[in-house]
A and B are shown apart, each in its own frame.
Chain A
Amino acid sequence: MTVQTPLTHQDFKSDVKPIWCPGCGDFSVLSAVTKALAELGRPREDIAFISGIGCSSRIPAYTKVYGFHGVHGRALAIAAGVKLARPDLTVLAAGGDGDGLSIGGNHFMHACRRNVDMTYIVMDNQVYGMTKGQASPTTAPDWCNSKLTPEGTGISPVEPVRLALAAGANFIARGFAGNPNEVARLILEGINHPGFSLIHVLSPCVTYRPEQRDWKQAVHASDATPAQLIAEAMHRLASDDGFTTGVLFAGNRQAFMPPRRNLATIADLERKFAS
């Protein structure tokens, strides 16, 4: 019998050097992911980590699991395909607020309601980092620093956790990149909770939103036990300032997975064509 030494978070880090700017919040999310995976204790080959396009979406390459860096906005669709085809794998998806809520907004809604067992980490910096600083769906309407919207967008932002709750996500949590241990714990809880789990991580873009460095003063951990009823969670989130961290909702919907049955052979099916 071979005794396997448990993997540490270092074992989940790859040797690929991140392209991120020094100080980017995404570094902490990377540490949180590798910590969570080390604690999960599954072998590296049984994890699939899927992303779209954006600074944040580069994350799978910096880990040491099976990964897919797809096209902009479609991470959740690839992730669902992986899990539906291979229910035995642990599936994570990650990306930015633009990737997940703008171009991928439709998939976000349907991933929440479809409730396939996977964990989705949205690294929210309220900006498009990769394309050098445009407004995203989570950007405040009066943010004027983009050349495309010099007078602000004038459009109300979406709050990812509220959207997820309304759409039917089964587990919703918020974390802050400045507290990677908490984010790691939330990711692990999300993985262990059946169905679709959203981990909304406030992850500052130090280059295009340097003012987000102040987020560390704004965040505060939730002192309530996680809401288990949608109405209760709704009620709490209605007055939330967007900086509450912790588990915000833990539902009990059953995860979606088509059954696998062996009731017939192809030859049986072919007989129906014979006249």
Chain B
Amino acid sequence: MSGYSVSVALTGSGGAGAMTAGQILLDAASKAGFYGLMTRSMGPQIRGGEAAALLRISTKPISSLDDHYDLLVAFDWGNIARFAAELPLAANSLVLTDPEQGEVPEPIAVFGARAAELPMKSIASGIPGGRVNMVGLGAAAVLIGLPLDSILSVLTAQLGRKGEEVLAAATAALRAGAEAAAILPSVTKLGTAPKDGVVRWNISGNEAAGLGALKGGIKFVAAYPITPGTEVLEWLAPALDKTGGALVQAEDELASINMVIGGSFAGIPSATATSGPGLALMTESLGLAVASETPLVVVDVMRGGPSTGIPTKSEQSDLNIAVYGLHGDAPHLVVAPNSISDCLYATQWAVYLAEALQTPAIVLSDQAMGQARALIGKPAESPYVAKRLVAEANIENYKRYALTASGISPMAIPGTPGNNYVADGLEHNERGTPSSQASDHQSQLDKRAHKLDAFDYGDLWADIEGDAEIAVVTWGSATGPVQEALLRAKAKGINAKMISLRLILPIQPAKMAAALKGVKKVLVVEQTHSEQFHKFLRAHYDLPKDVAVISQPGPLPIRPAEIVNRLAAWK
């Protein structure tokens, strides 16, 4: 469809190895010099269960899945009805099916794609130790035009230590699949890999967020596991251990957020990662961090909600709790990465902002970015690192919450002689002594609001692309499909500007007004059921009269075509 990419879905029930085949395909694409993206769709089973590896391989960097898959390789049809909706196919797509697994089932057949048979199971059974997924992978590689050598080199690297026999079996199955594919109908093929000399990284959004935290200066993490945020912690645990920091598993999120508050109070940049249910448990103590002016970072990898919701699938519906969830007037930071590489930049920036402003920052990532892997160019170095305004020793009559021009007061770190004070979530005076006086409440509320409002966030508050009378305003993982849609719309002669908000809180009215100057129509694109982002924009920003909204809940991703169609209808 797009002309520079090919999309492949590999599906199968537990044990078929769809995810493994997908990982190998992505690694091989990287070796061959392509860019790419892989997300996964998993069933609720703890182990096994149906799985789909959803890939898009491209000759240039991409940030979104395509509208449909060019090739669907089904190792079997177990539980296909559960995720068929996530596997859209076009008329010229090809479904590769094993005749032993029966007819193409109805939920897939409705797409009206071409189908071809490949007896993957029987081919595999003819090879000692041969596996179905390797046969399918060999066929897929030939069909999309990915050099088999690149897969072989990945196999050698990954299976080499499992011994000659395992490697030989995988290689034989791969080649058998590739040979069998010669007579199959053709599929969209990959173009030539760019020889741009750019070092490729293969990284997930969750790993990127962990790396961003580390590069920002985080040295202490306390956390409680939760899908889909756990991989942030799994990456950080050994990384912190190797670089002089520490990660501690807490008994729950009430403990983890408070341990982080303790770590930060003690002077060590501290963070945690969680998902919606954990963020809900943390909100009381996030208010404590606001009131006591204790910097910290919470990475929330959003999943379908409310309640336990859909733990394994994405949604942007924690926006409201992140923005409005704290009791009292509690100004804080909400930062949203809008791509897998931005999970690194935005998290690193959030550490910098939290530390500079002595307040908590919530980073709103989501499952779609967190658990997706991308082949990206090696990210450039970002200058943002933790730098806290600390108090020198022995300040006479030290006031922890002194009213200053910037609203930021020097923080005395335990161990600093002469400035001992008690941090407090009770309203307090400048010294930190509890106070219920109206004047202290007013001045400390003003201070905490002012320090966020007066800070210069530079250009990073949003990514703005293009200039036109139509603007698409979006955030987070909805940004990828918007970017792709705008490229396609341009090819059709429709110009639109993109405004993707990275800084959700504090709001930036002047910057938004400038960005919307001359804009007559706004299309809001988000992944929630109740238009949380649209309502947030309405509450805080002046939008033109003509506003349309694409807002759908997870787990289905927003497709570029939908956005293009909406823009075309407007014209």
Contacts and interface: CB of A to CB of B under 8 A. Distances in A.
A264 interface: yes
Contacts of B412: 66
B262 to A, nearest CB: 2
A84 B422 CA distance: 19
Interface stretch (B100-108, B238-246, B312-320, B543-551): B238-246
A71 B330 CA distance: 15
A3 interface: no
Contact of B262 (A79, A263, A273): A79
A85 B422 contact: no
A36 to B, nearest CB: 17
Given A77-B255, A78-B259, A64 B420 contact: yes
A44 interface: yes
B61 to A, nearest CB: 15
A49 B242 CA distance: 30
Contacts of B421: 66-67
A89 interface: yes
B211 interface: yes
Contact of A16 (B244, B419, B425, B433): B433
A238 interface: no
A48 B433 CA distance: 17
Contact of A274 (B199, B250, B418): B199
A168 B246 CA distance: 23
Contact of A45 (B30, B246, B417): B417
B243 A266 contact: yes
B224 to A, nearest CB: 11
Contacts of A85: 219-220, 246, 262-264, 266-268, 270
- Among B247, B258, B261, B418, the one with the most A-chain Cβ atoms within 10 Å of its Cβ is B258
B121 to A, nearest CB: 31
Interface string B194-224: 0000011111000100010011000110100
- Among A81, A88, A275, the one with the most B-chain Cβ atoms within 10 Å of its Cβ is A81
B424 interface: yes
A227 interface: no
A219 B507 CA distance: 60
B248 A46 contact: no
Contact of B27 (A50, A268, A275): A275
Given A61-B434, A68-B292, A260-B244, A81 B260 contact: yes
B250 A77 contact: yes
B502 to A, nearest CB: 22
Contact of B266 (A71, A82, A265, A269): A82
B261 A81 contact: yes
B211 A68 contact: no
Contacts of A74: 254-255, 258, 285
Interface in A235-274: 258-266, 268-270, 273-274
B199 A266 contact: no
A86 interface: yes
Contact of A66 (B263, B270, B414): B414
A84 B259 CA distance: 9
B395 interface: no
Contact of B415 (A73, A88, A261, A269): A88
A112 to B, nearest CB: 11
B375 interface: yes
A65 B422 CA distance: 8
- Among A45, A106, A107, A109, the one with the most B-chain Cβ atoms within 10 Å of its Cβ is A45
Contacts of A45: 414-420
Contacts of A88: 415
Contact of A86 (B30, B266, B423): B266
Contacts of B203: 273
A129 interface: no
B252 interface: yes
Interface string A90-120: 0000000000000000110110000000000
B288 interface: yes
Contacts of A273: 201-203, 207, 378
B263 A84 contact: yes
A71 B285 contact: yes
B469 interface: no
A160 interface: no
Contacts of A35: none
Contacts of B254: 73-74, 77, 106-107
A70 interface: yes
Given A84-B248, A275-B201, A61 B414 contact: no
A80 interface: yes
A107 B262 contact: no
Contacts of B375: 275
A65 B412 CA distance: 12
Contacts of B250: 77, 110
A274 B200 contact: yes
A275 B261 CA distance: 37
Contacts of B419: 45
Interface string A8-49: 000000001000000000000000000000000001111111
B425 A61 contact: no
Contacts of A264: 242-243
A37 to B, nearest CB: 12
- Among B259, B284, B412, B426, the one with the most A-chain Cβ atoms within 10 Å of its Cβ is B259
A262 B244 contact: yes
Nearest to B238: A269
- Among A84, A88, A266, A274, the one with the most B-chain Cβ atoms within 10 Å of its Cβ is A84
A262 B244 CA distance: 5
A258 B220 CA distance: 11
Nearest to A113: B251
A46 B200 CA distance: 47
Contacts of A195: none
A60 interface: yes
Given A43-B417, A86-B414, A263-B242, A78 B262 contact: yes
Interface in A187-204: none
A174 interface: no
Given A78-B259, A80-B259, A82-B265, 7 more contacts: A66-B412, A74-B258, A80-B248, A85-B262, A86-B268, A110-B255, A273-B203
23 contacts: A43-B417, A45-B420, A48-B414, A50-B262, A69-B434, A71-B285, A71-B287, A74-B254, A77-B250, A81-B264, A85-B266, A85-B267, A85-B268, A89-B414, A106-B255, A258-B246, A261-B244, A263-B242, A263-B243, A264-B242, A273-B203, A274-B199, A275-B202
Ordered nearest first, which 4 A-B pairs have the shortest CB separation?
Answer: A81-B262, A81-B259, A77-B258, A85-B263
